[in-house]
Amino acid sequence: MNIPERIAVRLPQLVFPSSEVLYKHNRVPKLGFVPFLTHKRHLGLGLGLGLSKKMSSSMENCHVDVQNKLEVVRPATEVYAQEAIEALKAGKVIAVPTDTLYGFACDACSLEAVNRIYEMKGRNHTSPLAICVGDVSQIQHFAVTENLPHGLLDSLLPGPVTVILRRGESSALEKSLNPGLDSVGVRVPDCNFIRVVARGLGKAVALTSANLSGQPSSLCIKDFENLWDRCAYVYDGGVLPSNRAGSTIVDLTRPGKYKILRPGSAKEETLAILEKHSLVEEAPAI
């Protein structure tokens, strides 16, 4: 028997697990090289195929690094929502899909967790963080809503819109979040996973895009793979059908007025709703 035939005899038939099995064991099926690496001993790598000990050790280290990264990835389904809630309660940062972009999320009342997000992103502390809540009815606990036309927030949210509102003296937000600002950006994304998590936390969730400051926003978890190890968990919702424009940001802090601060992905729809509720655009400062 020649050498190739002897090698072929030793090769087992590789059976690749289904996506459900991979996710059950905290593996990501999109990375097809993982099953190959897990079969390296059966293939005889480093055991007679001429690979040096140094190369074999390097492959082993690579496998450990990949496996450590994949252990933080979960599917963004309700099955894993309680795990995400517990992570936030413990002051951890998680990565989640929204209806626009992937974001980093933490307990908005945890100064340590909020600071960790700024550090992860390399973001200036003068740049405020938005908050996310599970339902429109919760917004009143964190911001002033009495000055808004009836039904306005319910028409805008849930959806790809961030509303800037006055915090007010009775806001349940910690003073340490966006210190010095009397307003706050609020989101209720049209995304079930993050809304379930926010409801379960029972407090506001600080939310910002999952990327290094100044870099392109993320439409899939692969886009911010270099930051996975900074997160307690990364929840995979697949590729988001967005154009990286992010949410439309509208300032509603002045009664009867609005100001579009960022066009985002829903500007036209937002303008139509604002005009329907008889709001007028704030005149630009001279």
Please give the Cα distance from 188 to 194 (Å, whole number).
Answer: 9
User: Do 235 and 227 meet the contact criterion of CB atoms below 8 Å apart?
Assistant: no
Report whether 131 contacts 106 (CB < 8 A).
no
How far apart are alpha carbons 179 and 115 in whole angstroms? 12
Entry pTM: 0.77
239 is written with which tokens?
């590729």
Inter-axis angle of helices 192-201 and 81-89, nearest 10: 50
**Per-position pLDDT tens, the chain of length 286:** 554 444 444 444 434 344 444 444 444 444 333 333 333 333 333 333 343 444 344 334 434 355 656 789 999 999 999 999 999 999 999 999 999 999 999 999 999 999 999 999 999 999 999 999 999 999 999 999 999 999 999 999 999 999 999 998 889 998 889 999 999 999 999 999 999 999 999 999 999 999 999 999 999 999 999 999 999 999 999 999 988 999 999 999 999 999 999 999 999 999 999 999 999 999 876 6
Of 107, 234, 122, which is closest to residue 176 (Cα–Cα)? 107
Spatial distance between the Cα atoms of 209 and 102, rounded to a whole number of angstroms = 6
